[in-house]
Structure 1
Amino acid sequence: MKRIKDLREYIDELDQLGDIKNVTREVDPYLEMAAVTRRGYDLHAPAPLFNNIRGAAKGMRAFGAPAAVSSMASQPAARVALSVGLPASASWLDIVECLTRSIKAEPIAPRIVETAPCKQHILHGDEASLDLFPIPYLHDGDGGPYCNTWGTIVARTPDGKWTNWSIARIQKLDAHRMTGLFMLPQHIAMVWEEWRKIGKPMPFALVQGCEPALPIVSSMPLGDYVNEGDYLGGHFGEPIEVVRCETIDLEVPASAEIVIEGHVSLDRDAEEGPFGEYPGYVVTDTSMQPVYHIECISYRDGAIWPFIPEGRPIDEYHTAVGVAMSAQTLSLLRDAELPITTVWSPLETANHWVFVTVPANWREQLPGVNSEAFCKKIAETIWNTKFGSICPIIYVLDDDIDPSNPHDYLWAVATRCHPTKRHVIDYGPILPLLACYTDEERHAHTGERIVHDCLQLAPEAGRQPHSSFRGAYPKEIQDRVLKYWDQ
């Protein structure tokens, strides 16, 4: 496994693959920079590196689509694969399996280093201004520019026992203040509540432009009180280097391009939103949220600010959450001793669907269990997690289907999912950002969820074979056709 240790090395790797587009003309951070990136998602274009941004301090750069679908049709998962240490040729399901294995790896705590390139410029007080940086206004209708869509928030509980690295959206209020979502059961909200209980503002650090595995792992729904830094060290088999902050008692990844330090208010005293969210729609609701008060900013020469204009699939929310949630789900289902081949949340569905595939011999491994009970157990295992609220629709399929291939899963859902039968409906917590629910359900944070039993009959009961090239012809005929195909 090859660890890419900072954002610049990662950009160089992508550039060698032809997956970077250097944008040298002047671009406006108000909508234009995001629009270029959004158009790139639609075309599966190389990731744009913006080198000339109106209003930003000289030398500042921005990087769009850092972990989107690659521009190389034969290697669509290349950006995420390279980020987590795999070859560019790895598939989405290879990445899921790799991250799943790392959940069981021995955690390795980060290692503190004396200094890092992010200490080249250190600003305090009024000089610590967000106005220096190319912070993008992402969607027409947003409540303002958004300072965080691909950076990691570092926070620690008051007792010092849990250091959380996570991603949550953060909106710029002015040069020295930001606000963002704090919603339970998000870990950032859990840590903030601990500080509220003792009546002290929560120290925070927001890091932009770290080594590429960090945002992927910051998206993972790891268990409560699990340190992402320890998981990432275990994943790579070596400690992640961290450096101490300037004004607060926290350490941040030493690979950072930019570090923003300060404290979060005790009260919800700023309006946050609207914002174009991952289901593909602008969420017009606003809410009162805490304020991040900035006290210090440090950064590298020619700092690079990564960003993602979330929206209709496929962008980084879908790729990162797709692999992260699938890996955690696969691990939990296997821990429950259920026979599972893989788990995948299709990127094209904005992560509203989850596919679970199982081996043909699952009945032998679960004697006396029918398919409805099996599917119900799978769904309950998923729904009884902190991320179960973002999994409203689950399909259980045989593993003759590749759930990462739309040609496979659309055919399977259409032909194996009964229009009105063979499903289990449950009522429980939902994420209010999910686009498929009513206003009443979103405001109540509860709604119906469903698991579809798409499993085929047992082989002895007359399962239908595929009428496809691989399924309808003897191997000798297949081999002959392939041998003479070019003729």
Structure 2
Amino acid sequence: MKKHLTSLRAYLEELREIGDLREIDDEVSTELEAGAVIRYAVENQLPAPLFNRLAGHRPGYRILGAPGALSSLPEARWARVALSLGLEPGTHPLAIVDELAAALDAEPIPPVEITDAPCQQNVLLGDEATLDAFPVPLVHVGDAGRYLNTWGVIIVRSPDGSWTNWAITRVMAADSRTLVVMINPPQDIGKIYAMWKERGEPMPAALVQGSEPAIPFAGGMALPSGRDESGYLGGYFGEPLEVTRCRTVDLQVPASAEIVVEGHVSLDETLPEGPMGEFFGYISGQPRQRPVFHVSAITHRDDPILPVVSAGKPVEEVHTVVGPTHAAEVLRNLRGAGLPVTAAWLIPEGSCTLAAITVPREWRQWGGGIHTTTRMLTRAIANVVLRPKVGFWITRILVLDDDLDPTDLRDLAWGFATRCHPVQGQVLIEDQLFTPLHIIYTAAEMQTLSGPKMAYDCLLSPDADKRPVSTAFEQNFPEHIKRRARALWDRPGS
């Protein structure tokens, strides 16, 4: 039974309980200082910092850093992700993937609308609807400006009302009443924006900050276009999310959110946006003209909390979102194609551009023996993994035996180094789409966002007489010897 945490504050209580929250009462500046503290916490796997005093801002206005990064608990590094998704803190990441994948086939449960929502304890309209009171940070040296959205979702809906999309995308503050939104045509928000352009009306939008903790994970998923993230999460938890109606736009937003910014995205007004520190680990991109978001209202809870992510060198929240959620989509697609797959993982330490897929030793028995060689199986797996939308991220795929744990970097390095032939192990997949944030492709490839990708056949021969014997503890020794060895180590030393 999943534990549905229905607010950011309920999530903070869970972090306090497991010792993975650090309250910082010293005054901290939003000018790089908070960003530096967050980045230090992320890189050293420290507790999530909650900044209680921010220079130049009223008491009670707070920032939560690293809300979905890896945990400070050595025995439960994925605790923040697991808790956000209603699971026990020590849940293995592959079990998280399985839960997300199963929900892809669950019946969606649409949200229910309530009134008197916590997110509207304070309502700012007209000239009062400014960002001046909120601690919008400058996170990195090199960022083009202060980014309001690093861990929230922007909510938009198709003009006919049939599709509501909750998406994570960059949103920069241009001034106290104007935002600039990164909208790319291939993304779902870009598809809906194109619908409003065709209609000739500015796009209603709501930017939600500090919602219940599962929402950013749904916002970062590669759900099929036309499917609502709110319904997916309802199906995942087995109960509807609570939403409330905005004050100035015809949209519903999560009722427990900390801050909601309402407005319209212009069809013709643009301002430069970027560069920004991004999930590949670099200050990414050149300034580009992006659509302007005009603020019409701001609602917020008493003593609001703004979650902030320091995007960059792995592992941070983009990776903890994309790794499990995109792996869930990959796993579902591979199983749906009838391929013999036991696990799928997008490796966070590789900025989720590297996928690892494991198969059982008896893979030849699956699918009527269609795939007779490890190379054939590797290519078949790669062709499914690289499907849109998930495939846009991935540039390399490792196909491995399932005696290896794809979440274990030691297993991955060993498997790749000792099981993949330097030449024959490579399977080239050409003319594949990728995201514009990739830095490895040539200028010509960037023009079309299309280039080569590679799969690696790291599979041992399934034939017993050709298969090397592993020295690993789990594979090498009989069960009674392993039990004896564990018992000796479990016994207190003399």
What is the TM-score normalised by the length of structure 1?
0.98
Task: Select 2:460's aligned residue among 456, 459, 462.
Answer: 456
What residue in structure 2 maps to residue 361 of structure 1? Answer: 362
Measure, in 2, the Cα distance between the counterparts of 1:43 and 1:238.
36
1:284 deviates by: 4.0
Retained in 1: the 8 A contact 2:153–2:208? Answer: yes
Bigger shift: residues 272-281 or 455-464: 455-464
Q: Which residue matches 2:99? A: 98
Aligned residue for 1:155, secondary structure, equals strand
**TM-superposed deviation, 1:222:** 0.3
The residue aligned with 2:428 is: 425
Contact 2:247 2:297 in 1 (8 A): yes
Whether 2:316 is the aligned partner of 1:312: answer: no
Query: Helix, strand or coil for the counterpart of 2:233?
Result: helix
Cα drift, residue 269 of structure 1 = 1.5
Check if 1:371 corresponds to 2:374: yes
> Which residue type is aligned with residue 404 of structure 1?
T
| Structure 1 residue 232 displacement after superposition | 0.4
Tell me how large the CA RMSD over aligned residues is.
1.3
* Range with bigger deviation, 429-438 or 385-394: 429-438
Structure 1 counterpart of 2:391: 388
| Unpaired segments ≥5 residues, structure 1 | none
Counterpart amino acid of residue 466 in structure 2:
G
Q: In the alignment, is the contact (CA less than 8 A) between 1:352 and 1:392 conserved in 2?
A: yes
User: Does 1:289 find its partner at 2:290?
Assistant: yes
Task: Tell me the number of residue pairs that the alignment of Structure 1 and Structure 2 aligns.
Answer: 487
Residue pair 2:146, 2:173 contacting (<8 A) in 1 also? yes
For residue 224 of structure 2, what is the aligned residue in structure 1?
A: 223
Letter in 1 for 2:164: T
1:118 aligns with 119
Q: Which amino acid aligns with 2:245?
A: R
Which deviates more from structure 2 when the two are superposed, residues 476-485 or residues 404-413?
A: 476-485
Unaligned stretches of 5+ in structure 2? none
Aligned to 1:481: 485
Q: Is the 8 A contact 1:258 1:298 kept in 2?
A: yes
Distance, in Å, in 2 between the alignment partners of 1:338 and 1:400 is 18
Equivalence for 1:49? 50
Deviations 1:434-455 (A, max 9, x none): 1332333234311111111111
Q: Counterpart of 2:476 in 1: which secondary structure?
A: coil
Equivalent in the alignment of 2:331: 330
Q: Secondary structure at the match of 2:473?
A: coil
TM-fit CA distance, 1:120: 1.1
The one-letter amino acid of 1:438's match is T
Q: Taking structure 2 as the reference length, what is the TM-score of the superposition?
A: 0.96
1:414 matched to 2:408:
no
1:437 counterpart = 2:441: yes
Distance in structure 1 (CA, Å) of the matches to 2:448 and 2:457: 28
Per mean C-alpha deviation after superposition, the further-off stretch among 295-304 and 326-335 is 326-335
Residue in 2 that maps onto 1:351: 352
Residue 472 of structure 1 corresponds to: 476
1:375 positional shift:
1.6
Q: Distance in 1 between matches of 2:478 and 2:10?
A: 49
1:173-192 correspondence runs (5 A): 173-192=174-193
Shift of 1:475: 3.2
SS of corresponding position for 1:402: coil
Identity, in percent, stands at 42
1:270-292 C-alpha deviation (Å, 9 max, x unpaired): 11101111010111412111011
Q: Deviations over 1:79-115 (max 9, x none)?
A: 0001001011101111100000111111101001012
Name the aligned partner's letter for residue 277 of structure 1: E
State whether residues 330 and 390 of structure 2, in contact with CA within 8 Å, keep that contact through their aligned partners in structure 1: no
Q: Tell me the amino acid that sits aligned with residue 417 of structure 1.
A: C
After superposition, give the CA deviation of every residue in 1:354-404 in whole Å (9 maximum; x if it has no partner): 011111111011314122222222111122222211111011111111000
Alpha-carbon distance, 1:480 to partner? 2.9
Conservation of the 8 A alpha-carbon contact between 1:69 and 1:76: yes
Instruction: Name 2:11's counterpart in structure 1.
Output: 10
Instruction: Please say if 1:210 is aligned against 2:203.
Output: no
**Corresponding residue SS for 1:106:** coil
- Which deviates more, 10-19 or 382-391? 382-391
Q: Is the 8 A contact 1:3 1:85 kept in 2?
A: yes
How far is the alpha carbon of 1:461 from its aligned partner? 4.4
